[in-house]
């Protein structure tokens, strides 16, 4: 019985949305700037919300702003609060706050919306990844927050850095990328 419990716990850990990468070199610190709307003030992943009372924000901008309020929140498998959250929990809460229902887990979320090519992505689109070497299904998701000069920046929750903004140009994410979908 004890072996079965240990086996189930190991399966849950391997199938989690978490992403950790072994590094042998010193960890670099990335600073990513994300613009909410064209010609608006820039915000960083450490910022929370963009204040632009004179302009009406799009639904994608509203959802992105909601997701950015969770920047820095630690990773917690199955989490959906500021105490901790996982990648699909971040998007489930952010989209749900704006009346856009999404499934709770990333591999089911990947079946929602319309599949698009990477060069067609816009703010608010979803990016799906396979981060496990042994796993055969999607286990990680992020949302595009900016596309600038061919660089795609996305917000997600990783087990090593929590809720953060990353670039698809980073080798790890580029190699783990599976597909992009549009749900808005």
Catalytic site residue from 66, 79, 127, 156: 156
Residue 87 annotated as catalytic: yes
Residue 98 annotated as catalytic: no
- Give 107's contacts (C-beta < 8 A, 6+ positions apart): 137, 138, 139
Catalytic site residue from 85, 87, 102, 141: 87
- Give 120's contacts (C-beta < 8 A, 6+ positions apart): 180
Catalytic site residue from 90, 109, 140, 144: 140
Residue 140 annotated as catalytic: yes
Closest CA to 161 of 24, 10, 31, 64: 31
Whole-angstrom Cα distance, residue 10 to residue 132?
Answer: 13
Q: Catalytic site residues? A: 87, 140, 156
């Amino acid at each position: 019985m004890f072996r079965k419990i240990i086996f189930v716990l190991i399966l849950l850990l391997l199938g989690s949305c978490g992403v950790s990468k072994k590094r042998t070199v010193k960890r670099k610190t990335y600073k990513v700037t994300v613009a909410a709307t064209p010609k608006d003030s820039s915000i960083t992943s450490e910022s929370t919300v963009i204040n632009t009372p004179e302009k009406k924000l799009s639904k994608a901008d509203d959802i992105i702003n909601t997701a950015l309020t969770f920047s820095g929140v630690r990773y917690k498998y199955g989490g959906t609060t500021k105490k901790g959250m996982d990648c699909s929990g971040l998007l489930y809460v952010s989209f749900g706050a704006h009346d856009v229902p999404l499934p709770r887990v990333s591999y089911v979320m990947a079946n929602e919306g319309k599949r698009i090519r990477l060069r067609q992505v816009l703010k608010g689109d979803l990016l799906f990844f396979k981060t496990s070497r042994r796993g055969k299904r999607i286990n990680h998701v992020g949302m595009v927050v900016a596309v600038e000069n061919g660089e795609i920046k996305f917000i997600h929750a990783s087990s090593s850095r929590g809720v953060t903004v990353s670039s698809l140009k980073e080798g790890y994410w580029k190699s783990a990328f599976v597909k992009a979908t549009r749900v808005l």
